């Protein structure tokens, strides 16, 4: 697979049955026919260069999605972050109000008869 920029600043990837276009800064998915999976080295290079999923069609309809391990890990890391943010927001909405840290330590000292050092 070869990548090159045309005069308009569009990066073109030429693959057996498809030409993939990507403007600098744009996100455009790679869509290839199932028959291109025979060119595993080219598909692997595309997956690693795009850092995004590559969509595979069968009979003109979406059939598979493939991606590099790095893109896979990044995708699920991001999903994990979103899940944790959602859980934190839910906890914030459904819990008791926040208490200042100094107030918490003062209450603990009072409850257990401790002195401030």
Band (pLDDT 50/70/90 cuts) for residue 4 is very low
CB 32 within 8 A of CB 43: yes
Examine the pLDDT at 104 and tell me if it is beyond 50. yes
Give the chain's mean pLDDT.
79
- Comparing CA positions, the residue from 57, 41, 51, 30 lying closest to residue 1 is 41
- Express each pLDDT in 34-83 by its tens digit: 988 898 898 898 889 888 888 999 988 889 999 999 999 999 999 999 99
Q: Against a cut of 0.75, is the pTM above it?
A: no
At residue 104, φ and ψ (nearest 5 deg) are -60, -50
- Averaged pLDDT for residues 89-94: 86
Q: What percent of the chain has pLDDT over 70?
A: 75
At residue 31, φ and ψ (nearest 5 deg) are -125, 120
């Amino acid at each position: 697979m070869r990548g090159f920029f045309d005069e308009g600043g569009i990066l073109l990837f030429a693959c057996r049955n498809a030409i993939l276009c990507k403007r600098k800064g744009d996100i455009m998915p790679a869509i290839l026919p199932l028959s291109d999976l025979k060119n595993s080295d080219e598909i692997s290079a595309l997956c690693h260069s795009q850092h995004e999923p590559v969509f595979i069609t069968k009979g003109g309809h979406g059939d598979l999605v493939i991606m590099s391990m790095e893109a896979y890990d990044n995708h699920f890391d991001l999903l994990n972050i979103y899940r944790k943010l959602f859980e934190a927001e839910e906890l914030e909405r459904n819990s008791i109000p926040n208490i200042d840290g100094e107030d918490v330590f003062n209450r603990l000292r009072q409850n257990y008869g401790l002195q401030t050092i």
